[in-house]
Structure 1
Amino acid sequence: MTAALVRRRVILLLVAVAMIAAAAVAMDGVPYEPIYHIRPPKNWINDPNGPYRDPVTGKIHLYMQYNPNGPLWGDIAWYHVTSEDYVKWTRPESPVAMWADRWYDRWGVYSGTMMNNNYSEPVIVYTCTEPENIQRQCIANPPKSDLHGKRTLDTLVKSPLNAIMSEDMIPGLVALENFRDPTEWWLDPTHPNRWLIGFVARIKDSEGDNAHVILFSTEDPSFQSGYSFSHSLYTYKYDLDRMFECPDFFTLAQGGEHYLKLSTMPSHRDYFVYGAYQADPVTGKYIFVEDPERSFTFVDYGPLYASKTFYDPILNRRTMWGWTMDELSDTQVRANGWSGVQNMLRTVVYDTVEQKIKTQPVPETKGLRLHKLVDMKGIAVTQTPTQIVASNTNNTLYHEIIARFTLADPATFAADATYADDSEVPEVGVMVRANASLGQYTTVSVRMPTGGPSPSESTQQLETYPAIKVFSTPTAASCSAECNKMRLCESYTFRESDKNCTMYWKTNPMGTSVDATSGTVREPLLYLGRTQSGTIGNTAPLHGRAPFATATPNGFELHIFVDDSVLEVFKDEGLETLTGRLYIDNGADTTGVAVYARNAGTVTVDIEVYTMDTIWKAPTPNAARNFTNSLYNLLDTLIDV
């Protein structure tokens, strides 16, 4: 081989390496891209669908709403990813499992469920949407050749019987676009060979125009046909949109009690509803009767939405995925080329002491830890932030942080204290995405709301603070009592003129009026502060009620996951959770971690910090070699060696 030929070969190799590096950047270096939250390399995603664990292969299958043609919503298909261990994930070569390609779903193959029928075969039910947004329900199945072969479940074949449930089967349906989002199937308690499945619908009933979870039934053990409308499982009169989304109806290991999970568009939040699944005394059909002493609670205090639970038959546990959308303009999203992530997979457990459902990352998440950066005990926390990880350490935007705070005097968070402004409010927490000078940062904390226990007069509620419930009550005191009892509620306004109580899930801006009285629940808040973050997205704070847990009255734990533009926070093993978004352009300069305490007396912290790995499996050596060889072939064609 001549020297010139060697030089040319070396040049080819260097170019190939550069192209491989460029390919890696294109895959994993796009703006604000998380590495351990599930998403496609590009384009839009929203609701998680399925999910399903195959009891034959052990493989986990997650589907999701996906636009194959761009980063904004539209042309909805089903995208598919798989895992064998909940740690590392794979995108199939052909990741779209179902397209919008039939007359009955040309507007979109919307959200759905995958579950085994009575013959142990996976069946998919999904909302199929005809032009003009006519919503019906359809069935799809993996082909028999796949079920008896590799069981990839990467292609879903639509039933020739579709659509199997239609809008004309629902008494009192208001508008054709208000029938969607199937739950799992379950056996009818009144009939040993009948299965029930739930959907959301907007129905005009005897009490008005209301949000319903409705049930259809079938006696077909294959789940393919024979569906008829049964009855309403649950009705809610106070939703501003008169329509739910993405219901789940499930039991947990503790006592077999039933729970309902709902999403609502006005709040763009998800909720747990507590109650009893029991026979209606008039009809004998089983309905869900809400327990007002426990209902409702938020799934998350951030933009987690359209969450979906599923039961893992191998690990015998129920878990939950949710979707978090972006908080950028359409122009910014188009420039980035992608939008939306699936939240980290969470366990779903009922806490019998706190009487609420808690969610926290599955234990397998620990498999993503790369390096332990910090393990410090008994650090004194003061108003001057204490730097725990310097910015640019390991140059990583991907952290797991576990901070356990202890307060010498928890009474600093007393409900009867009054705070004139934010400078007086007790607050203890962690700074993440901080720069070297700690002049730019995002706070994750537990703090008290401003104001005090005495009701204040108010002119009106700002539009940015959506109401969760409006009802009649005789006095401001009864309005306040109801807000305190309902764990969604942070603040209220009572109008004397019409005796209306309006409850809000954000803190209440106070004003002056002879007619309106407002107040704020005097409990600690789990709080995400973004005003100093440097984000180009939303800087408004996110928060929700987060009292100290009964088991730890002198402190609390914050478990924080930082994944570039995605933050997930779990307080006290998931009793309260909060998801947030950050879009920081100088990302490499804002990787620091610090702790702080303001107006809280003596505080100490035990803290651990880990760097985190990607969830995506690396290409196999053969795949990498084939890619390199293909680059050589391309370059040999372009360059005359």
Structure 2
Amino acid sequence: MNDPNGPLFYKGVYHLFYQWNPYAAVWGNITWGHAVSTDLIHWKYVKELALVPDRWYDIKGVWSGSATIVNGEPILLYTGWTNSSTQVQNKAVPKNSSDPLLREWIKVDAENPFAVPPPGINTSDFRDPTTAWIGQDGLWRTAVGSKYRANDTGIILQYRSKDFAKWELLDESLHAVNGTGMWECPDFFPVAVHGQQGSENYLGEENAIQKFVIKVSLDETRFDTYVVGDYDPASEKFLPSFEALDIGTALRYDYGIYYASKSFYDPHKKRRVLLGWINEADKPTSDIRKGWASVQAIPRVVWLDENQHSLRQWPVPEINSLRKHPIRHTDLLLKQGEVFKVNGSQGSQLDIEVTFQIPKAHANDENDEFNFESSRVEGIPNNTLIYCNGSFPEAEQIIGPFGVHVLASEDLRERTSVFFKFLKFKGSWKTMVCNDLTSSSLASDATKGVYGGLVSLSSYKNRQALTMRILVDHSIVETFAQGGRTCITARSYPLLGSDNNAHMFVFNNGSLPVKATHLAVWKMDKIRYTTV
């Protein structure tokens, strides 16, 4: 399983299509699987495959795409890999649109492919059409990810249609950035400037105060990166709010192994929902042995942060229905080197919320410089391993790390560590949240790296506190720091600290005492999967 495709809400049902190899636990034979849900948590697999590679225009693979509601009915746009290894864009419609489960789909052979690589675009660099929107002229628009090989420019091409059947390439691209390589799985959507309510308004009508988001998956780095800006429906151009925060330079949805994400507007609850693919971090032989590979992340609600140039993400509130057996602690004072075992938290499915009081040496510093654009800090290496898991000689002062160990063996030989760490550099403080997997498993075939992202406190109301929420589901650890301003997804494969032998600890490995003012841990019920 890999990319989420075509998510939508239709006739009271959430639909998720996804890239899938139905024959093996390795990439290949790409089809569209299909699952449905009424709450985005418990899912039913639809027996019928939605799309299979059986036409000349998709015989080598039914690749990623999107869903759009057109005149009240859903239409799928997707990339096909042809019998000549060319990427082209195609269309499919439901066989029976009155079926709320949308079990069967029909490819529109008379219209497919509706777009082929234009001049200057390589036949293997043209894929993943977005959800369509209506332009100022009343005509439909969709966008396709691509690149110009001459200068390695990532680009989003725009297409226009009056009938959703015949499409023409527009002269102007939606956006492009030199040196960023192939842009796949693009996404383009509006966000309200104030509040968490989602939007599907692309025209700025009715005095809507909003920004726009372009997200792309960078094929060369495997990062999902985004930029917030303004969109002029008249000129059909996107302009970043801050050039320094453009695609590929600063902002990522997730600083771990979260990729090929896709959002959709949920009209049922008026929110923007984000789905993403979590890859494995072990060897393919392990996946073949267990018979499956990769999962979809817990759906997230996404909205614009108060700073108006970055996003926040949070697990959909429906996940709280799985919580049980709460454990709570307040005002835990952790001295230098102290580790606190959270009794009663054994298990590998947990929901954890923790708040740390910022150490006074940091919080009271007059040179505290919280600037979100510091996500590109001069002199700090891009390799977060150096900062998260090692010394940094250029630092004037380091505070931390302090955080939690999850999926830990009782003797801590195995542990996945999620923590905060402060660096004082050139007179100002920078805050990092990290996920350290270097001691996560005794297994020889597991990747044991370090993930990390800088945290902004500039728009956070309580400047004296650091917060994180961690969802643990067996091998998956999803972290949401500072209310979802920085997110990290990781895979951990412990041999000792798994299932009921998995323990949780709160720790302080720094030189200053740290107080955990709030700690709440819930064991989680299992998500139910059935087939329809």
What TM-score do the two structures reach when normalised by structure 2? Answer: 0.85
* Structure 1 residue 403 corresponds to structure 2 residue 354: yes
- Greater fraction helix: 1
Identity, % of aligned positions: 27
Look up the equivalent residue of 2:357 and give its one-letter code. Answer: T
Within 2, Cα distance between the matches of 1:177 and 1:59?
35
Tell me if structure 1 keeps the 8 A contact 2:51–2:62.
yes
Report how far residue 167 of structure 1 moved: 2.5
Within 2, Cα distance between the matches of 1:130 and 1:216?
20
Within 1, Cα distance between the matches of 2:352 and 2:416?
14
Look up the equivalent residue of 2:277 and give its one-letter code. Answer: W
Classify 1:247/1:419 alpha carbon distance in 2 versus 1 (closer, same or farther; 3 Å). Answer: closer
Tell me if structure 2 keeps the 8 A contact 1:398–1:564.
yes
1:96 match: secondary structure? coil
Partner in structure 1 of residue 166 of structure 2? 226
Look up the equivalent residue of 1:200 and give its one-letter code. Answer: G
* Structure 1 residue 561 corresponds to structure 2 residue 463: no
Partner in structure 1 of residue 37 of structure 2? 83
Look up the equivalent residue of 1:539 and give its one-letter code. Answer: K
Q: Residues 507-518 of structure 1: matches in 2 within 5 Å?
A: none
Look up the equivalent residue of 2:360 and give its one-letter code. Answer: D
Within 2, Cα distance between the matches of 1:575 and 1:526?
11
Pick the aligned partner of 2:132 from 185, 206, 214. 185
Partner in structure 2 of residue 236 of structure 1? 177
Partner in structure 2 of residue 605 of structure 1? 517
Q: Residues 328-343 of structure 1: matches in 2 within 5 Å?
A: 328-343=282-297
Partner in structure 2 of residue 128 of structure 1? 80
Within 1, Cα distance between the matches of 2:425 and 2:174?
41
Tell me if structure 2 keeps the 8 A contact 1:410–1:553.
no
Partner in structure 2 of residue 314 of structure 1? 268
Partner in structure 2 of residue 210 of structure 1? 153
* Structure 1 residue 171 corresponds to structure 2 residue 119: yes
Within 2, Cα distance between the matches of 1:420 and 1:581?
30
More moved, 547-556 vs 411-420:
411-420
Look up the equivalent residue of 1:548 and give its one-letter code. Answer: L
Within 1, Cα distance between the matches of 2:515 and 2:364?
13
Classify 1:531/1:177 alpha carbon distance in 2 versus 1 (closer, same or farther; 3 Å). Answer: same
Partner in structure 2 of residue 51 of structure 1? 7
More moved, 534-543 vs 360-369:
534-543
Within 2, Cα distance between the matches of 1:602 and 1:105?
57
Classify 1:602/1:385 alpha carbon distance in 2 versus 1 (closer, same or farther; 3 Å). Answer: closer
* Structure 1 residue 441 corresponds to structure 2 residue 441: no
Tell me if structure 2 keeps the 8 A contact 1:186–1:196.
yes
Look up the equivalent residue of 2:182 and give its one-letter code. Answer: M
Report how far residue 355 of structure 1 moved: 3.5
Tell me if structure 1 keeps the 8 A contact 2:305–2:311.
yes
2:285 match: secondary structure? helix
Within 1, Cα distance between the matches of 2:361 and 2:130?
43
Report how far residue 107 of structure 1 moved: 0.7
Tell me if structure 1 keeps the 8 A contact 2:394–2:425.
no
Let me know the Cα RMSD of the aligned residues.
2.6
Pick the aligned partner of 1:356 from 281, 290, 310. 310
Within 2, Cα distance between the matches of 1:78 and 1:617?
18
Pick the aligned partner of 1:245 from 184, 190, 194. 184
Classify 1:354/1:425 alpha carbon distance in 2 versus 1 (closer, same or farther; 3 Å). Answer: farther
Classify 1:268/1:616 alpha carbon distance in 2 versus 1 (closer, same or farther; 3 Å). Answer: same
Classify 1:236/1:618 alpha carbon distance in 2 versus 1 (closer, same or farther; 3 Å). Answer: closer
Look up the equivalent residue of 1:157 and give its one-letter code. Answer: I
Tell me if structure 1 keeps the 8 A contact 2:414–2:440.
yes
Within 1, Cα distance between the matches of 2:358 and 2:425?
22
Partner in structure 2 of residue 199 of structure 1? 144
Pick the aligned partner of 2:69 from 116, 127, 146. 116
Look up the equivalent residue of 2:93 and give its one-letter code. Answer: N
Tell me if structure 2 keeps the 8 A contact 1:416–1:453.
no
Aligned length: 484
Within 2, Cα distance between the matches of 1:535 and 1:577?
26
Tell me if structure 1 keeps the 8 A contact 2:264–2:272.
yes
Within 1, Cα distance between the matches of 2:51 and 2:308?
42
Within 1, Cα distance between the matches of 2:33 and 2:91?
17
Tell me if structure 2 keeps the 8 A contact 1:412–1:601.
no
Runs of 4+ in 1 over 4 A off after TM superposition: 412-425
Within 1, Cα distance between the matches of 2:82 and 2:364?
54
Within 2, Cα distance between the matches of 1:138 and 1:413?
58
Pick the aligned partner of 2:108 from 146, 153, 159. 159
Classify 1:161/1:75 alpha carbon distance in 2 versus 1 (closer, same or farther; 3 Å). Answer: same
Within 1, Cα distance between the matches of 2:147 and 2:398?
46
Within 1, Cα distance between the matches of 2:132 and 2:189?
10
1:314 match: secondary structure? coil
Classify 1:204/1:529 alpha carbon distance in 2 versus 1 (closer, same or farther; 3 Å). Answer: closer
Within 1, Cα distance between the matches of 2:514 and 2:526?
38
Tell me if structure 1 keeps the 8 A contact 2:347–2:500.
no
Report how far residue 522 of structure 1 moved: 5.5
Within 2, Cα distance between the matches of 1:162 and 1:609?
53
Report how far residue 599 of structure 1 moved: 2.2
1:27-47 deviation line (CA, Å, top 9, x unaligned): xxxxxxxxxxxxxxxxxx000
* Structure 1 residue 548 corresponds to structure 2 residue 457: yes
Tell me if structure 2 keeps the 8 A contact 1:376–1:608.
yes
Q: Residues 407-446 of structure 1: matches in 2 within 5 Å?
A: 407-409=358-360, 411=362, 420=393, 425-446=399-420
Report how far residue 452 of structure 1 moved: 4.8
Within 2, Cα distance between the matches of 1:432 and 1:401?
10
Report how far residue 95 of structure 1 moved: 4.6
Look up the equivalent residue of 1:614 and give its one-letter code. Answer: K
What TM-score do the two structures reach when normalised by structure 1? Answer: 0.71
1:138 match: secondary structure? strand
